[in-house]
Amino acid sequence: MFTHELHLIRSHILQYKSLLSDFQESVVFVRDTPNPAMDASYLDQEHLVLCRERLAKECDALLSEIERLQMARNMLDSRLTNVMNLVSKNVGYRYELY
């Protein structure tokens, strides 16, 4: 029962890893792909420069936060692996007693 819960947590952590990776790819795409709206000739050039700078700044902030979340996820995955190894050793120890 307990090992089932641990494996369920592991599957959630792997799903979270996939979601973070997809989100990171989306942010990089938005940051690096030219946007036709940012090249509109009828808009003030100063305003467009400000918008481009703000977009780059926000994308960089998001990428930094994604990196922080990935590091936290790696730490949780490592802790979960340690717990699973501990449970595995304890279960094996109990079987040796009988």
Of 36 and 65, more confident? 65
Full domain range(s) for residue 9: 2-97
Would the pLDDT of 98 be above 70? no
- How far is it, in rounded angstroms, from Cα 7 to Cα 4? 5
DSSP string, 51-74: HHHHHHHHHHHHHHHHHHHHHHHH
Q: How many domains are contained in the chain?
A: 1
Please compute the mean of the pLDDT values over residues 77-87 and round it to a whole number. 90
Looking up tokens 């000739």 gives 41
| Average pLDDT over every residue of 62-90 | 93
Residue pLDDT, tens place only, 35-54: 887 777 777 888 888 988 99
Is this structure's pTM higher than 0.75? yes
